[in-house]
Amino acid sequence: MSANLPTLRQLQFLIVLAEHGNFSRAAEAAHVTQPTLSAGIKELELSLGTTLVERGARGASLTPAGEAAAARARTILTEAEDLVHAARAAGEPLAGQFRLGVIPTIAPFLLPRVLPALRDEFGQLELFLREDLTPRLVDALKERRLDAALIALPYEAAGIETRAIAMDEFLFACSPDHPLADASPLDPAMLADESLLLLEDGHCLRDHALSVCSASHSAAGPGSGRADAARSDFAATSLHTLVQMVRSGLGATLLPRLAVDGGVAEGLGLVIKPFNPPVAGREIGMAWRRGSARADEAAKLSEAVRAALAPR
């Protein structure tokens, strides 16, 4: 094997320099001195036989060869990390660091229920959590910055595998003086004349709620109700904001049972009721990158979450 192969540390220096564009900030991020980082980059350039970095008074920028090398370096480092994770998982699954993403409409209501159980079952697990919208979590999975993510299904994305964990029923929420507050039984077709308050664009809960509204319009038949299922003049950034808007009499909404059981509307005096069967809602699921060395661990984690959510 050639003695001139780059080291993983040199590749890490190149990546952090590409991210920061400055030797001083890059050295700080890499927890080394600036001369150490600069020497590592120079050694990498010598081993590859080309200039990777253009140094200037305003900072450092990668040459075309440097950009290509940085892209390959990211792949090499993530493959090296996968090697480490696969070796550890073979000895003891879900031991050490595991990077888990969670969407905002799940995180505050599910995590308090499942984290104690996960700590009990996997004592060596170091769970690093990131809360974000589904598209950004999926991007992080593909870029190997996350090992798995708890998202709402259905959600289709190339290169991503999912496993359903539990059904999360949608409940109708309104103020006591709303026309549907006393409706019993409550059928989804009754939403045909409603423009619901929903989360802003980008939240998958909005898309899943709109699919229920779309089905209600179809069930009500042509010519019944309006086609604008969501109000365009109001949109909330979180479920906590959404229930406050409902409390203020601005309209009605759909809430996931997970959030209701988690107390999102507690003490607000809202009318919250289920729909007639069949149950309309979303599925909570685990997602991971296809071919990931941690796929088996992600699947095992999803089963642990399922067990923690099961009725006692």
Does position 290 have pLDDT exceeding 80, yes or no? yes
Token pair 């709109």: residue: 210
Q: What does residue 17 show for φ and ψ, rounded to 5 degrees? A: -70, -35
Q: Across residues 2-22, what is the average pLDDT?
A: 87
Does position 260 have pLDDT exceeding 50, yes or no? yes
Note the pLDDT of residue 218: 46
Q: CB-hemisphere CA count at 13 Å for 68?
A: 7
Q: Which residue has the higher pLDDT, 148 or 229?
A: 148
Q: How many H-runs (helices) and E-runs (strands) does the chain carry?
A: 10, 9
Q: What is the pLDDT of residues 118-131, one digit of tens each?
A: 999 888 888 999 99
* Residue in 160, 181, 189 with CA at minimum distance from that of residue 285: 160
- Range in 166-170, 179-183, 191-195 with the lowest mean pLDDT: 191-195
Does position 154 have pLDDT exceeding 90, yes or no? no
Greatest pairwise CA separation for the chain in angstroms: 78
Range 176-182, long-range pairs (CB < 8 A, 24+ positions): 176/269, 176/270, 176/271, 177/249, 178/252, 178/271, 180/252, 181/271
CA-CA distances (angstroms) from residue 274 to 103, 169, 251?
A: 23, 8, 17
Write out the H or E segment, with its range, that includes residue 222: none
Q: What does residue 116 show for φ and ψ, rounded to 5 degrees? A: -60, -40
Give yes or no for a contact between 97 and 84, defined as CB atoms under 8 angstroms apart. no
Note the pLDDT of residue 224: 42
Q: Across residues 100-105, what is the average pLDDT?
A: 94
Across the chain, mean pLDDT equals: 85
Token pair 């964990």: residue: 165
Sign for the pseudo-dihedral over CA of 138, 140, 144, 146: negative
CA-CA distances (angstroms) from residue 210 to 127, 153, 180?
A: 33, 14, 18
Q: How far apart are CA 257 and CA 275, in angstroms?
A: 12
Q: What is the pLDDT of residues 184-236, one digit of tens each?
A: 888 888 887 777 888 876 677 777 777 766 655 444 444 444 445 555 456 67
Q: How far apart are CA 265 and CA 258, in angstroms?
A: 11
Note the pLDDT of residue 234: 66
Residue 54 token pair: 């253009």
CA-CA distances (angstroms) from residue 250 to 234, 235, 310?
A: 9, 11, 35
CB within 8 Å of 253: residues ≥ 6 apart = 173, 174, 196, 197, 198, 209, 242, 243, 245, 246
Q: Where residue 103 falls among pLDDT bands split at 50, 70, 90?
A: very high
Q: How far apart are CA 177 and CA 253, in angstroms?
A: 14
Q: Across residues 21-39, what is the average pLDDT?
A: 91
Does position 106 have pLDDT exceeding 90, yes or no? yes
Q: Across residues 43-55, what is the average pLDDT?
A: 92
Note the pLDDT of residue 91: 60
In 92-200, alpha helices (H): 107-121, 134-142
Return the SS3 of 223: coil
